Amino acid sequence: MVKTYKVIITGQVQGVGFRPHVYVLANQFGLNGSVSNNEEGVIIYLTGREKSILSFIEQLIENPPKVSRINTHSAEEIALQDHKDFQIIPSRKGSRLNLQLTPDFAICTDCSREILESENRRNNYPFTTCVNCGPRWAITNTFPFERDHTSMVEFAMCSDCEREYTDPLDRRFHSQTNSCAKCGISLQLTDNKGVIQQYAEAGLFEKIGSLLMDGVIIAIKNTSGYLLCCDATNKTVVQKLRDKKNRPNKPFAILYPSIELLQKQLKTTKKHIETLSSTERPIVIIPKENYRGGLALEELAPNLNQLGIMLPYTGILQLLAEVIPMPIVATSGNFHGSPIISDNEECYKTLQNVADYFVHHNLSISNPQDDSVVKYSSKFEHEVIFRRARGYAPNYFGREYSGNDKILAMGGHLKSTLGFLPNDYVYLSQYLGNLDHYDVYNRFTQTANRFMEIFEQKPDTILVDAHPEYQSTQYGVELGIKLGVNPVHIQHHKAHFASVLGEHDLYGSDEPIMGIIWDGTGYGDDGHIWGGEFFSYQSGCMDRVGHFEYFDWLAGDKMAREPRLSLFSLADESMKDVLDKKFTNEEKHIYQAIRQKNKLKTSSVGRLFDAVASLLGICDYNTYEGEAAILLENCIIQYDLNTCRSYASLSDSGKIHAKRLMHNLYMDYQNGVPRNILINNFLFTLASLIFEMASKHNTRKLAFSGGVFQNTTLIDMLIELAGNRYKLYFNRNLSPNDENISFGQISYYLHCREN
């Protein structure tokens, strides 16, 4: 018996070849009807035998397009419709957007192969894509995802591309980013005076490769923004790039031309290779032990035993990889602290004195993004996202929400992101950066406006951090006045805790959950600087149940930039000789005077890491955020819990004395205990204190967030110590650092209540 069904699919289902996949499948099952995108996902009408319809649905759900993600699906029988065939219907915008957006996808193996085939019409065309790969969020202007809603609208398809686009058996059937050299995007090579460079036909990448091997710096416009590139084996040019970019120590990302070369030179794990080859294609941080290659290691990653590695993820980078025998630096096209540049004129104006040459193209980038960064712990291969941007943003793949409240969350300050809940989904922006920088602040406000424009929604509620001086807070307040919305202030560390509870959908838990939230800084409810916090959550209530004992917060933000100030604050009389080496008499007098007058205190574990790094002679001045903590972990060779000892335990009142911990560590230091053992003991102390606190509060479920939990050795220790006695929860789709604050603010607002 012939029937008609209406099927609705939600999730990451636009810009992923879903409609052509449905078209081919429907024809295989002999079904008539239609498929189209709408504001909620994909809507399918099927007319045919009921058995065939149900088989079609089962096959579609079990085997969707490979880069899609289905959240929900529904099917209902409707009145019989007279469909003569099966058609893909262009999207018609009828209501507001209510679907997950589509992140950028790395170039697929098929497209990678085609651009290298001499007889293929896409040979050497760097913007080759199909339904399975290519830019999405980077070029999105509005939704649903159709060509005329992206910056590809400027490039009309030629007859050959049009034929592919309309052929149901072609991989580019309804590929919205389809183009070729005849009708598509063009590249241009100039020097830093703007003079267009000549090169042999089809020889652009040979020319770029030759220049790189000659030791020059080139700013290359990729599909998500400019990259500054140079020969990663040339010490002189890498140092030259450091000096020009004003980036003295922060490590550079390294683009390897192939997995084969990478595996010859660097020890990698299965996880490393899987992630490097994934559709997200992030930078992966890999230990450089037993490195067997010619990289300028110290210039690329000063004082570090790890490297940030990535593989080509666009046609541009793939074609470049084919003509260079060596890895290259591929770092964000900007000055240190500024956002990645995507505009041709802005790039030339800003980086004219940094780059020797420029590779521009004429595709507009609507949403510039940095490369994402991932690291795995050495013992348990626990994944930690260090930066969430290209390939991940702007989707958050969690539970769907329902309700009428439209929420805009302004996030934190140093590692800013925005969160928006305009419908049933949470959307989280790419990493934006430190809002102290004017250009980052502008990108931040532009992103907020872009979210509101894309979704055609103004927020009913604006969530901001409790810190009144955060630029994100101030902008949220200003926007609230403009829109007539009173902002809701949410404490920083409660938002961190809420981000983990939200990611793991723990709000319905019957058991109490302890939140261990450790970072560098956050404005506390009592006006002090928090950062070493223990919370308890149960039945909608979040309470602070413990913290590291307060110590003096000195010289404002300067304390975060100079680890020696944390040592000064935590040192006792036994450490006088150490302080004498790090401070002049005048400085000691000044800081002692500040200390006596100072009323501002902190519980920050991030500053405790700084103090230990300074004490052990690892770092007195941070040139980038978290440098001291990164260098501290970098000193660890390996650890054995059976040989670790603790420098502190909970007092009878449940307090953690940071100064006592520092004193005991210093005594071992004085007694000649090797530095790596001291650091192992320090991390073991922190891990042990967590389980002591959990035992004191009779809590088995523990949730962790904050920048301290980017320390993968600490995470391994926690997993090992927990055994089967405790259930541990970490940020998994988000970074544990302040990038998760915007999501945590939304999560807290929806599920928690103030006492």
pLDDT of residue 201: 66
Q: Which CATH code of 3.40.50.10490, 3.40.190.10, 3.50.50.60, 3.30.70.100 fits the domain covering 2-88?
A: 3.30.70.100
Q: Nearest 5°: CA angle at 431, between 428 and 437?
A: 130
Grouping H, G, I as helix, E, B as strand and the rest as coil, residue 118 is coil
Q: With a cut of 70, list the residues of the chain below it in pLDDT.
A: 91-95, 201-202, 755
pLDDT at 146: 86
The domain made up of 187-374 is a member of CATH 3.90.870.10: yes
Q: What is the pLDDT of residue 652?
A: 81
Taking only Cα atoms into account, the Rg of the chain, rounded to an integer number of angstroms, comes to 27
pLDDT (tens digit, 9 = 90+) per residue, 183-207?
A: 999 999 999 999 999 887 669 999 9
422-480 per-position pLDDT tens digit: 998 999 999 999 999 999 999 999 999 999 999 999 999 999 999 999 999 999 999 99
Q: If 0-12 CB within 10 Å is exposed, 13-18 middle and 19+ buried, where does residue 384 land?
A: buried
pLDDT of residue 94: 62
Rounded-to-integer distance, Cα 43 and Cα 365, Å? 29
* pLDDT confidence of residue 92: 66
Cα four-point dihedral sign 179, 182, 187, 193: negative
pLDDT on residue 41:
87
Q: Give the domain ranges of the chain.
A: 2-88, 187-374, 403-483, 551-740
Neighbours of 396 (CB within 10 A): 22
CATH number for region 403-483: 3.30.420.360
Six-digit token string for 310: 């990535």
Q: Which residues pair with 489 in a beta bridge?
A: 464
The reported pTM is 0.95
Distant-in-sequence, close-in-space partners of 144: CB < 8 Å, separation ≥ 6: 14, 37, 38, 39, 91, 93, 97, 99
Residues in the chain: 755
Tell me, yes or no, if the two domains 403-483 and 551-740 fold the same way: yes
What's residue 93's pLDDT? 63
Token pair 């795995």 in the structure block, residue: 376
Residue 577, pLDDT score: 96
- CATH architecture for the domain at 551-740: 2-Layer Sandwich (3.30)
- Cβ within 8 Å of residue 345, ≥6 positions away: none
Q: Report the pLDDT value the prediction gives residue 614, as an integer from 0 to 100.
A: 98
Q: Where are the beta strands (DSSP E) in 590-726?
A: 601-602, 701-705
The pLDDT tens digits of the residues spanning 297-331 come to: 999 999 999 999 999 999 999 999 999 999 999 99
| DSSP-assigned states of every residue in 172-224 | TTT-TT---TTTS--EEEEETT-PBPP--TT-HHHHHHHHHHTT--EEEE-SS
